[in-house]
Chains A and B, each alone.
Chain A
Amino acid sequence: MTTTLLKDPPISKQLAKNLKRNFIEHIIEVILMLAALVSSFITLAIVYILVTEAAGFFKDVSIVEFLTSKKWSPLFEDAHYGILPLVSGTLTTSLVALTIAIPIGTISAIYLSEFASHKIRESVKPVLELLVGVPTVVFGYFALLFVTPLLQKLYPELPTFNMLGPGIVMGVMIIPYIASVAEDAMRAVPMNMREGSYAMGATKFQTAIRVVTPAATSGIIAAYILGISRAVGETMVVAIAAGQQPTFTFNPLEGAATITAYIVQVALGDLPHGSVGYQSIFAAGMVLFVITFIFNILGHLTRKRFAERY
């Protein structure tokens, strides 16, 4: 009986169907791979667009002037193309933000991970995630119409557009992000390390500072690096509240344009495609891309290291 079944034609039909099936399977795999390649294509497209437009820019402007001149005024008659004022603005606002976000974010993370009861942690964590999702233009509103007027009550000389207000707001904005990533890193430290420490008679605080924090260092540093990358690339808060005048200064009480604010300012105007002013936003964008790219890769590598250790 079985032998006759094996000789039956349906089996060859089955095989024929398998051939078709395999072919479809193969097509599907190729389609999925193409979709995965789109992300690489995006990166290539970003690099291509930035490099070609910036190349047009550097035909008219020497790289030496771009990197050393302390004046940035591509839109005026007397055009100067030194990126330093934009970089100083970006650095100052980011520094103000990080001075606020790093200590508060770290303390919050240590508290949430090591001290908070289960109930507090489970209710604060979702709130942090909610806050990470608040649009940045809203924070720009806070910087311009709430924090800066408040600061002006303390220092009446503070101009309406300054770097301190948006810096502070950016810091507040980044706190949930840093706290959330750093807390994840600390929770990933295995429980038996804490138990070992407690068994030696250490208190919670000693365990948190001398055992858990060192073990989670790379994860915490990754949180800082990703925070820096966010601060450097932040656009709307500084475009709304830090002013649009490129000034080479590190004084947060002054107003100054950042790289991102400059790009927004040019985009709001109506520059002809192909002009030096138009190309200058791509040159500025390239500087921004390179800075954030370095920080992102650094953050990714440190994070991966901590993920592999335990």
Chain B
Amino acid sequence: MKKTQEYLEESLIKPKTLAEVRAMIVAHKRNDFIFASIGLFTIIFALLTLLILFIDLVMDGYPKINYQFFTDFPSRRAANAGILSAWVGSALVMLVTFLTAVPMGVASGVYLEEYAPKNWFTDIIEINVTNLAGVPSIIYGLLALGLFVYTLHLGTSIVTAGLTLGLLMLPIVIVSTREAIRSIPVAIREAAYAVGATKWQVVLHHVIQYAFGGILTGIIIGMARALGETAPVITIGALTFIAFLPPAPLINEAPFISFEWLQSGFTVLPIQMFSWLSRPEHVFHINAAAAGAVIIMLTLVMNGTAIWLRYRIRKNIKW
């Protein structure tokens, strides 16, 4: 005991007596507890704030959400207005987005992970993908306005919106494809090569198959983001009053499939919400809340599926 006391007195540590050391330990433990409480409180506070906001939105929109809301066109009279053209438009735009982003995204992910040589050129493509993921969505809108609308003369149509959102979604698909592929052990590829498979056979029969879950996760997250994006779609000039449906993709005469809908004018869910929100009358704000509740539900379900899927994959696969 005495030695400790002497040691403490000689040392450079500030507390000079045992009592002081004890006091210091108590103080430090108190700090620990205080910070843990602050941390827990902060997280609960942040999550509660968001929860209150969502509940407020759903409460506002709840009386409006019924069967009619999904089958009515937008209207000048708030009570009659619905989201028929908006959800049909969203579905068709998402279809084009899916067809644009998924093949290209998966292909570039596969190339960057499996084929690309390690050199400056690959580095540039990589940095470029990272940067694209961080480019504000409205810049994609400007790109689409300059390129698709005025250079390629596609007009403000479903195909323009689909392509724009497809480009926006591309980096998300690329990054998730790469991450999924990277987690597959080299041994799997070596085993396939050993029995005489070519590179493409290895990729197609093994790599893509095993990475499928991870790729799907990225696709769902990307689609959810594209579904909720508003700014780029507004920038291409899509905020107009649309009370009609695009021509049906399936027709009665041969060849039974029509692509006329690609060139049709359209509206999407977030745009419909924005248009109701920017009106001064309060009745339209209730419609906006209802549309918002629908969008939130859709994106939460999609993202939830993706996260659940990822969790399942992590849990089940042990290489």
Closest to A240 in B: B277
- Using known A-B contacts A107-B38, A137-B230, determine if residue A129 contacts B303 with beta carbons closer than 8 Å: yes
Closest Cβ of chain B to A30, distance in Å, is 10
Whether, in the assembled complex, A260 has its beta carbon less than 8 Å from a beta carbon of chain B, the answer is yes
Whether, in the assembled complex, A6 has its beta carbon less than 8 Å from a beta carbon of chain B, the answer is no
Q: How far is the CA of A115 from the CA of B56 in the complex (A)?
A: 32
Cβ-defined contact, A42 with B230, below 8 A = no
Closest Cβ of chain A to B116, distance in Å, is 7
Closest to B280 in A: A160
Whether, in the assembled complex, A249 has its beta carbon less than 8 Å from a beta carbon of chain B, the answer is no
Q: Which of B65-73, B106-114, B241-249, B253-261 contacts A (4 or more CB under 8 A)?
A: B106-114
Complex interface: chain A residues within 8 A of B53 (CB): 142, 146, 172
Cβ-defined contact, A39 with B115, below 8 A = no
Total A residues in contact with B, Cβ cutoff 8 Å: 86
Q: How far is the CA of A36 from the CA of B127 in the complex (A)?
A: 12
Contact of A134 among B150, B170, B228 (CB under 8 A): B228
Whether, in the assembled complex, A75 has its beta carbon less than 8 Å from a beta carbon of chain B, the answer is no
- Using known A-B contacts A31-B107, A267-B235, determine if residue A111 contacts B304 with beta carbons closer than 8 Å: no
Complex interface: chain A residues within 8 A of B234 (CB): 264, 267-268
Whether, in the assembled complex, A102 has its beta carbon less than 8 Å from a beta carbon of chain B, the answer is no
Closest to B298 in A: A135
From 204 to 234 in chain B, residues with beta carbon under 8 angstroms from any chain A beta carbon are 221, 224-225, 227-231, 234
> Could you tell me the dominant secondary structure of chain B's interface residues?
helix
- Using known A-B contacts A115-B39, A135-B229, A236-B231, determine if residue A260 contacts B136 with beta carbons closer than 8 Å: yes
Whether, in the assembled complex, A110 has its beta carbon less than 8 Å from a beta carbon of chain B, the answer is yes
Cβ-defined contact, A135 with B139, below 8 A = no
Total B residues in contact with A, Cβ cutoff 8 Å: 89
Cβ-defined contact, B141 with A133, below 8 A = no
Complex interface: chain B residues within 8 A of A126 (CB): 307, 311
Whether, in the assembled complex, A86 has its beta carbon less than 8 Å from a beta carbon of chain B, the answer is no
- Using known A-B contacts A111-B42, A126-B307, A127-B47, determine if residue A49 contacts B229 with beta carbons closer than 8 Å: no
Contact of B224 among A25, A112, A133, A281 (CB under 8 A): A133
Complex interface: chain A residues within 8 A of B46 (CB): 104, 108, 172, 175-176, 179
Give B264-294 as 1s and 0s: 1 = Cβ < 8 Å from A's Cβ atoms. Answer: 0000001001100110000001001100100
Whether, in the assembled complex, A55 has its beta carbon less than 8 Å from a beta carbon of chain B, the answer is no
Cβ-defined contact, B43 with A108, below 8 A = yes
Whether, in the assembled complex, A197 has its beta carbon less than 8 Å from a beta carbon of chain B, the answer is no
Cβ-defined contact, A235 with B128, below 8 A = no
Cβ-defined contact, A36 with B112, below 8 A = yes
Whether, in the assembled complex, A223 has its beta carbon less than 8 Å from a beta carbon of chain B, the answer is no
Closest 8 CB pairs of A and B: A135-B228, A233-B136, A111-B39, A35-B107, A49-B146, A36-B108, A32-B111, A235-B231
Assuming A38-B104, A39-B108, A289-B139, what are 16 further A-B pairs, CB within 8 angstroms?
A: A35-B111, A37-B125, A42-B170, A107-B42, A115-B40, A129-B303, A130-B303, A142-B53, A142-B57, A176-B46, A179-B46, A203-B31, A205-B31, A235-B231, A288-B138, A297-B127
